[in-house]
Structure 1
Amino acid sequence: MSKIISITSIASISPLGNDPKTIWGNYKNANHCFTKHFLDHKNTLVAKLDTDSNAIVEDLKQSDIKYKSLDKSVLYAMAASRKAFATAGWTSNDVFGINIGSSRGATDLFEKHFQEYLQTGKAQTLASPTTTLGNISSWVAHDLQSSGPEISHSITCSTALHALLNGVAWLRAGMTDKFLVGGSEAPLTDFTVAQMRALKIYSNIDERQPELAALRQAQRDNPVCQSEPVEDLLTKNNYPCRAFDLEKNQNTLILGEGAAVCCLEIGRKENALAYIEGIGYATELLEHNISISAEATCFQKSMKMALENTDLSEVDVIVMHAPGTKAGDLTEYKAITKVFGSDLPMLTTNKWKIGHTFGASGMMSIEMAILMMQHQEFIGVPFAEVQKPRKQIHKVLVNSVGFGGNAVSILLSL
């Protein structure tokens, strides 16, 4: 990369919390964030915002009468952007671009408006402007009083990292010196969950509670005689999203909600949290409507592009996309082994803990990578095989991909 890009702040609002100390503390424990909520006509495991984050969103919604009609995806983006903006020391006098995307956009509000239309035959005046995908960046720009360019897009689950690519491109082209980029998603709605179930990728491990209760009782009655398969079942129930479990026999994706954004600036800044050392991207022909190839050719290409000026041995960690599906996790792992051979970096993901946040997930992974570099501590997947530790965490590769085989890989360094 010909010009250094600094990440001068990053902020998120998610089931992990909304400030770096709380988020890191939640990453450090081995608990997941999933709770049951009634969606798609049944109790469904999802990862919702924590209580404090919900209060922040509610205060934001009440702070301006215009904000009361906005979708959660917009409010989440505004909350995260305010914090990133303030932490970077930016002001409304700065000229900066905004690119915050979403895979699904205003799902909750759109479903409510459509249901009302079915019942009354009429659409509300604000039904269209509050559900267009572009209103996320537009409202963030309004809230931060930005005068720079604003962009919104959906590139499925790699949306946030494509936003980062856009920001890098604008900065390197000299069209602006600062760019706010990221993704936001509020997908915990009946129809969105139903769509994931229709694809047969949503986790149903928790539905085996009666069987597991019997196994637990049997274990208490005679713990010495319990077989390994019983232990496996009990462990799987403790972690219903089996992201980066390469031997799972069923899909275990679970949805989460939240937003994450970061501030990009051209040059090597003193307040930089990390530097963008390499970027990679690729798209491949679809073998199936929702899948990538058996060895994730798109990931192989995107990782090689991001690493073209880097010795592979220098990469300490890869934060995988790993959505918790059988094919998705395994094909990404195969792509990593194709690129790195037998000497793999430490591998991890955060979806076993917070679920898949669709268009926000890539930036959530960037945040995880930066936190690991700041604290010089690897956060692994509790049920994954123990990996050979690295002495340092100075370079982290972050992967993201979505429906359509649109992979992005970002190499970060301290």
Structure 2
Amino acid sequence: MTNARADEYILIRGRGRVSALGEQAFPSASDSPFSAHPNGLPVAALPPATEAAVAELRHAHPAYRQLDRTVLLALLAARQAAAAAGWRTTSTEAEPGKRDHLNPTHHSLLTTHRSLSVSIGSSRGATHHLEHYHEEFLRAGSVPAAASPLTTLGNVASWVAFDAGSTDGAILSHSSTCSSAFQALGNAVAWLRAGMAERYLAGGAEAPLTDFTLAQMQAIGIYSPFAASEWPCRPGAGRPSTFTLGEGAAVFALEKVAAATAAEVAAASDRPLFRLESVGFGFEAIGSKTGISADGQHFQTAIRQALQQAGREPAEVDALVLHSPGTPAGDAAELAAVRAVFGENQPQLLSNKWLVGHTLGASAALSLDFALQVLETQQWPVAPFLTYLATAPERPIRRILVNAAGFGGNAASALVSLV
């Protein structure tokens, strides 16, 4: 990916999220947001209010009744992002820029006719539909004609584009397991910098809370032994492995503007304005496709590439949102990579997986949303277990790096800052 130009900014005009925390970016109480799946495993499922919004959206348009849950989560997050950016209006929106988190019933219209592109990442795509249609095939020996188009990965981005009213922009889907959302984000940044797109909705979505997917995570031997009420996902806590699956989505409204314009917008705004400075990638060849090198070579490459693209030194990073899946080997390798890049002056280490679980292809996007919330509020919740995660800011937080990694030795890092 090309380096960022000093006279051009990629702005995050708006963002939307769907997670186990509902409308809250941080938990509003000390109770665990995790719940027990019907099979007994702890999961980070959507709360009732968000679940109602998903059901309402499914019936808001005749075509949406056939969509997979992953697609619907992406639609909810994308609507929030576009509305926050001022790219669409709703009949319930009383003032410009007001964020309508969970009301899907009022179909929105684009406020301008400028081209809109979409890139969405998802590790598994239409998980629920794919498993359902396969079960039907085993039972009856046939599937409906809609099974193929409704279960492709491209199905996610294409419906987001349809709902957003995009008619001539790029529509791309990405899958690189748990770094999928940053693959989508990096693609959006490249297109914007190259002048191949004017505006972008980019992010990730995942709805993997099915018996089959949970069984796969158990088979790897990484699932948390803790109950839902005991904060089962514990990044940075060491043994045992505390991987806990979650569902959700986060989408960002991106636009390239002149640096001077960004400064003017920031000065006139009553809310913080965020800049996406870079997205870096790293890859390594490893013997096990579910493994990771002890010193996190792919993390090191991704972090260094993100810094190099942005023209930043390691000391300019104030905080780092770790990928931190809660697995001892994964957490240790990432920490080793951070030490290799930053030395003794490492940034403050954060994670949101203890709040929303590991959402696979959506995890990087939700981590980025968490980073933006930290930039906006200059605070974060404290994990209720022993961990090396930071408890409070040591200095003003102006720039945050966000890590993500997936099976097969791939990693990605995004650098964001306040304008």
TM-score with structure 2 length normalisation?
0.86
1:206 to 227, 243, 257: 227
Partner secondary structure for residue 205 of structure 1? coil
| 1:304 counterpart letter in structure 2 | R
Q: Deviations over 1:285-334 (max 9, x none)?
A: 02312012110001011111112322322211100000111111110011
Question: Structure 2 matches for 1:209-358, cutoff 5 A?
Answer: 238-245=230-237, 247-248=238-239, 250-267=240-257, 268=259, 269=262, 270=265, 273-308=273-308, 309-358=311-360
Separation (CA, whole Å) in 2 of partners of 1:206 and 1:89 = 42
Alignment of 1:57 onto 2:54: yes
Separation (CA, whole Å) in 2 of partners of 1:173 and 1:114 = 41
Separation (CA, whole Å) in 1 of partners of 2:51 and 2:73 = 9
Q: Deviations over 1:371-390 (max 9, x none)?
A: 11111114443322474842
| 2:174 counterpart letter in structure 1 | H
Which residue of 2 is the match for residue 410 of structure 1?
414
Contact 1:287 1:293 (C-alpha < 8 Å) held by counterparts: no
Contact 1:31 1:353 (C-alpha < 8 Å) held by counterparts: no
Q: After alignment, is 102-111 or 387-396 more displaced?
A: 387-396
Which residue of 2 is the match for residue 13 of structure 1?
18
Separation (CA, whole Å) in 1 of partners of 2:302 and 2:118 = 24
Partner secondary structure for residue 286 of structure 1? coil
Contact 1:274 1:370 (C-alpha < 8 Å) held by counterparts: yes
Contact 1:349 1:381 (C-alpha < 8 Å) held by counterparts: no
Q: After alignment, is 29-38 or 325-334 more displaced?
A: 29-38
| 2:230 counterpart letter in structure 1 | N
Which residue of 1 is the match for residue 208 of structure 2?
187
- Which of these two proteins has the greater Rg computed from alpha carbons? 1
Separation (CA, whole Å) in 2 of partners of 1:95 and 1:386 = 41
Which residue of 2 is the match for residue 97 of structure 1?
117
Contact 1:348 1:380 (C-alpha < 8 Å) held by counterparts: no
Give the root-mean-square deviation of aligned CA atoms: 1.7
Deviation at 1:4, TM superposition (A): 1.4
Separation (CA, whole Å) in 1 of partners of 2:348 and 2:32 = 21
Which residue of 1 is the match for residue 217 of structure 2?
196
Which residue of 2 is the match for residue 169 of structure 1?
190
Q: After alignment, is 273-282 or 314-323 more displaced?
A: 273-282
* Percent sequence identity over aligned pairs: 43
Contact 2:351 2:389 (C-alpha < 8 Å) held by counterparts: no
Alignment of 1:23 onto 2:21: no
Q: Relative to 1, partners in 2 of residues 1:30 and 1:266: Cα closer, same or farther, differing over 3 Å?
A: same
Q: Which structure 1 residue ranges, 5 or more long, are not aligned?
A: 208-236
Partner secondary structure for residue 181 of structure 1? strand
Partner secondary structure for residue 68 of structure 1? helix
1:150 to 143, 158, 171: 171
Separation (CA, whole Å) in 1 of partners of 2:389 and 2:358 = 23
Contact 1:37 1:45 (C-alpha < 8 Å) held by counterparts: yes
Partner secondary structure for residue 128 of structure 1? helix
Q: Deviations over 1:19-63 (max 9, x none)?
A: xxx223x1x64443211122xxx3111111111111111111011
Separation (CA, whole Å) in 1 of partners of 2:388 and 2:414 = 25
Q: Relative to 1, partners in 2 of residues 1:276 and 1:386: Cα closer, same or farther, differing over 3 Å?
A: closer
Separation (CA, whole Å) in 2 of partners of 1:89 and 1:324 = 37
| 1:173 counterpart letter in structure 2 | A
Q: Deviations over 1:100-152 (max 9, x none)?
A: 12101111111111111111111112111111110111111111110211001
Separation (CA, whole Å) in 2 of partners of 1:107 and 1:360 = 13
2:398 to 379, 387, 394: 394
Partner secondary structure for residue 41 of structure 2? strand
Deviation at 1:206, TM superposition (A): 3.3
Contact 2:122 2:362 (C-alpha < 8 Å) held by counterparts: yes
Contact 2:236 2:388 (C-alpha < 8 Å) held by counterparts: no
Separation (CA, whole Å) in 2 of partners of 1:310 and 1:403 = 28
Give the count of matched residue pairs. 375
Deviation at 1:13, TM superposition (A): 0.9
Partner secondary structure for residue 4 of structure 1? strand
Separation (CA, whole Å) in 2 of partners of 1:397 and 1:379 = 18
Q: Relative to 1, partners in 2 of residues 1:129 and 1:393: Cα closer, same or farther, differing over 3 Å?
A: same
Which residue of 2 is the match for residue 224 of structure 1?
none
Separation (CA, whole Å) in 1 of partners of 2:165 and 2:279 = 30
Question: Structure 2 matches for 1:68-83, cutoff 5 A?
Answer: 68-83=65-80
Contact 1:349 1:380 (C-alpha < 8 Å) held by counterparts: no
| 1:241 counterpart letter in structure 2 | C
Which residue of 2 is the match for residue 37 of structure 1?
37
Contact 1:7 1:274 (C-alpha < 8 Å) held by counterparts: yes
Separation (CA, whole Å) in 2 of partners of 1:279 and 1:138 = 23
| 1:255 counterpart letter in structure 2 | L
Q: Deviations over 1:152-174 (max 9, x none)?
A: 12111000111110000000000
Which residue of 1 is the match for residue 157 of structure 2?
137
